[in-house]
Amino acid sequence: MRSVSIVGQGLTRFGERWDKSLRELVAEAGLAAVKDSGIDGHKIEAVYGGTMASGRLIGQEHIGALIADQMGLNPLPAHRMEAACASGSIALRNAMLAIASGEHDIVAVGGVEKMTEVDAGEVSTALGGAGDQETELFHGATFPALYALMARRHMKEYGTTEEQMATVSVKNHKNAMDNPYAQFHKEFTLDQVMNSGYVASPLKLLDCSPITDGAAAVILAATDVAKKYSEQPIEIIGSGQASGTIALTGRKNLTGIEATTIASKIAFEKAKLTQKDVDFAEVHDCFTIAEIMAIEDLGFFKKGEGGKATEQGKTAMDGEIPINTSGGLKGKGHPVGATGVAQAIEAVQQLQNKAGKRQIKDANIGLTHNVGGSGATVVVNLYRRAQ
Ligand code: COA
């Protein structure tokens, strides 16, 4: 298999984007990525686009073709990839595999979601389709409720506290202050998070990622080709994907996501690295408990110790392993189809030393972790500067 690298990246500002339609967001991120790569757009050979619910949210399907059209890339092959909130990551992964296999040399990857055109109830129902419609959504269990169940079990088994979960929110909102593309530029105190009102107990408003519009795009190339264009291509040195049960009822336990453990094991084995080699990680903090479970399931902390580690500052910008330097889904925002691609962009910016005030000193290896649904799809990628 050939080595694959990211040679260009483009992001829109995340948030309530009344000023731009879905196709305009796609064009903004896509054209920025092509410009950043320095590659003539006509050299791109295929497009992979991730979106979760564009049909339900704005009535637009056939997003692969729309992205190719908006970017002026017809008639090349265009694909839509969907795996709920991991749609962006499976678009990235399948594009990577298309290059690794030798089929293509240069491929564009996009992720997009326009979520604020309908009311929050309708968004919640659309997102709920990422779980099990029959056994969960039909009975009113939308995503805050599903993650609340996991949080309660984690609290019972490991003594994790609501304050520890709130610390994740305080940290990620703080990190987002230095990200110009983030939805929120507002710091919150622990008290403010604790008093923000229950959405699904024990999760409060400020434990939840928000509803967001936004797009992200990267250009991938075979690493030998990438070196002709970019001064510093970022190589994807390990990638793992795994599936788990669609419903929580099928899980052996609720205190973690098994697909995360499996996907990360594959990624680390491929990269021939261990957790100790990783300098920073972007993990899927759709709810604060999700970040605590992720840092345990990825092997950065022992099971049950994620809450304590967060409270002790081990995941802060100056901690042992900075988590969600971009602000994460919590502070940066979570346009579901775009999130996986945006996580890869944070890895690129950190490794290219272009993360501005968020820059981690001497960052050599980065990890991204993207979850679809309550853990039915997980993708973990490892990155470093191409050698
Ligand atoms: N974090 C921080 N602030 C938030 C927020 C969040 N998650 N959600 C809303 N806000 C803010 C809004 O900006 C607004 O502030 P303002 O009054 O200063 O303008 C205020 O809170 C009220 O916003 P509103 O739009 O009325 O909130 P809502 O009640 O419609 O939605 C949630 C709140 C938590 C229900 C919604 O954000 C949600 O569903 N989040 C989860 C999304 C999800 O499940 N994603 C998939 C995960 S797998």
In the chain, domain spans: 4-118+212-234, 140-204+236-385
The finding on whether 90 has its CB within 6 A of some atom of ligand 1 is no
Whether 284 sits among the annotated catalytic residues: the reply is no
Q: How far is the CA of 211 from the centre of ligand 1 (A)?
A: 6
Q: Which of 209, 212, 334, 370 to mutate to test the pocket of ligand 1 (most atoms within 8 A of CB)?
A: 209
Return the H-helix or E-strand segment holding 329.
Answer: helix 328-332
Strands (E), the chain: 4-11, 46-50, 78-81, 106-114, 198-200, 203-204, 213-222, 234-243, 280-282, 365-372, 377-385
**pLDDT at site 167:** 99
The finding on whether 329 has its CB within 6 A of some atom of ligand 1 is no
Q: Among 368, 386, 89, which Cα is nearest to 226's?
A: 386
Whole-number Å distance between alpha carbons of 100 and 95: 9
**pLDDT at site 220:** 98
In contact, 38 and 229? CB cutoff 8 Å: yes
- Of 85, 208, 284, 286, the catalytic one is 85
Whole-number Å distance between alpha carbons of 292 and 270: 25
- Of 154, 173, 284, 334, the catalytic one is 334
CATH number for the domain running over 4-118+212-234: 3.40.47.10
**pLDDT at site 352:** 98
Whether 85 sits among the annotated catalytic residues: the reply is yes
**pLDDT at site 131:** 98
**pLDDT at site 88:** 98
Query: Can 4-118+212-234 and 140-204+236-385 be said to share one CATH topology?
Result: yes
**pLDDT at site 354:** 97
Q: How far is the CA of 79 from the centre of ligand 1 (A)?
A: 31
Cβ burial, residue 194 (10 Å; 0-12/13-18/19+): middle
What is the pLDDT tens value at each position of the chain, 387 positions in all? 999 999 999 999 999 999 999 999 999 999 999 999 999 999 999 999 999 999 999 999 999 999 999 889 999 999 999 999 999 999 999 999 999 999 999 999 999 999 999 999 999 999 999 999 999 999 999 999 999 999 999 999 999 999 999 999 999 999 999 999 999 999 999 999 999 999 999 999 999 999 999 999 999 999 999 999 999 999 999 999 999 999 999 999 999 999 999 999 999 999 999 999 999 999 999 999 999 999 999 999 999 999 999 999 999 999 999 999 999 999 999 999 999 999 999 999 999 999 999 999 999 999 999 999 999 999 999 999 999
239: helix, strand or coil: strand
Q: How far is the CA of 134 from the centre of ligand 1 (A)?
A: 26
State which CATH number among 1.20.1080.10, 3.30.365.10, 3.40.47.10, 3.40.50.720 fits the domain covering 140-204+236-385. Answer: 3.40.47.10
Q: Among 217, 257, 224, which Cα is nearest to 341's?
A: 217
Cis peptide before 322 (omega within 30 of 0): no
How confident is the model over 36-59, as pLDDT tens digits? 999 999 999 999 999 999 999 999
